[in-house]
Amino acid sequence: MRTDMLHKTINELMEMMPWIEDYFSSFSIDPEKLGDSKLEELGTILGENYFEENGGSYNTFIDGFFLFIEQVRALQQDSGFTVNSLKVLPGKNKNGEKETFSVELKKGEVTAIVGPTGSGKSRLLADIESLAQEDTPTGRRILIDGRSPGDEERFSTEGRFIAQLSQNMNFVMDLSVEDFLTLHAESRMVDEVSHIVRKIYDTANILAGEPFSMETPVTELSGGQSRALMIADTALLSPASVVLIDEIENAGVDKVKSLELLVSNNKIVLISTHDPLLALSADQRIVIKNGGISKLLKTTDDEKTHLESLEKIDRKITLMRDQLRTGEEIDLSDLVM
């Protein structure tokens, strides 16, 4: 492949792989100006000084060219690396006492993590993120689809395997919703960019209480709208197969629908929460105590039957919050339960 590519002109390469422009641009090479030149001729045409000015040499430029192609091909193929289940094998709590059972997290299921602040919820999330192999303070081991991942696999995931969402996250790019989503879709090498952009936008608008337009700068979205856009984007465009959520309770998004969206896109969802509605929407909940997993509770049928009334209460509270915000009088007439 290497020799073939070297013989091709820049125009031919651009035809085959339009995204290669992204790599050329890192050496300030304009493909239009050099369209008829062959890749192998660039060294002589531009000269070694040119490459040095751009922080490399002709050789590093060529090596990088092929590495970049490999990276992009990997991006195109992987929808992350798809994981069906994760298993957390017992480690130890802060007193050195062994955890007594393992926990399985399955694709399309939500697991809530509950426990007081400082109890070790983040440590568990960190173990999962690093695919711990008895080499973290807790001594836990994480299995992917029933087996231990090799070092190579652990390090090569480069964070693509886990997506994170938390209350502290904000958009920082100075772009409209449409441009922002387009940029993300392009960097993910998806085929139908405008289609997926539309889909994420529509979904986010369903999740957000208040609608927003494609032209709104992402930095001007309200808290709820931002959260909704982040959730829709993660569900529909992120390659990660595991989503870690840290507290989204008061974000002004439809919480239950958000979780449904994530699991319907085959994600393994973990949510650290104290919100009864979220915790009971989960399939199971892990109770953390003193740094260790102390209990695993399956959401009972009884709990599930009460979900509906919980949702009603939640909606009522949201409504009251909105009434407060907009300066209306609060309607308490239907508060009797």
Residues forming contacts to another protein in the complex (CB under 8 A) are: 22-23, 25-26, 52, 54-56, 60, 63-65, 67-68, 70-71, 75, 122, 125-126, 129-130, 135-137, 151, 154-156, 158-160, 163-166, 168-173, 180-181, 183-184, 187-188, 226, 229-230, 233-234, 237-240
CB of 278 to another protein, least distance (A): 19
Give the separation between CA 288 and CA 336, rounded to whole angstroms.
35
Q: Which is nearer to another protein, 151 or 308 (CB)?
A: 151
- 126: its two tokens: 């960190």
CB of 89 to another protein, least distance (A): 17
SS3 per residue for 56-119: CCHHHHHHHHHHHHHHHHHHHHCCCCCCCEEEEECCECCCCCECCCCEEEECCCEEEEECCCCC
CB of 243 to another protein, least distance (A): 9
CB of 109 to another protein, least distance (A): 20
CB of 230 to another protein, least distance (A): 5
Cβ atoms of 185 and 192 within 8 Å: the answer is: no
Q: Which is nearer to another protein, 156 or 323 (CB)?
A: 156
**Residue 264 falls in which region: left (phi positive, over 0), alpha (psi -120 to 50) or beta:** alpha
Give the separation between CA 129 and CA 123, rounded to whole angstroms.
10
Cβ atoms of 93 and 99 within 8 Å: the answer is: yes
Give the separation between CA 245 and CA 270, rounded to whole angstroms.
6
CB of 324 to another protein, least distance (A): 28
Q: Which is nearer to another protein, 83 or 230 (CB)?
A: 230
Burial classification of residue 4, based on how many CB atoms lie within 10 Å of its CB (0-12 exposed, 13-18 middle, 19 or more buried): exposed
CB of 162 to another protein, least distance (A): 9
Q: Which is nearer to another protein, 54 or 176 (CB)?
A: 54
Give the separation between CA 35 and CA 28, rounded to whole angstroms.
14
Q: Which is nearer to another protein, 130 or 216 (CB)?
A: 130
Give the separation between CA 292 and CA 294, rounded to whole angstroms.
6
Q: Which is nearer to another protein, 181 or 277 (CB)?
A: 181
Q: Which is nearer to another protein, 51 or 314 (CB)?
A: 51
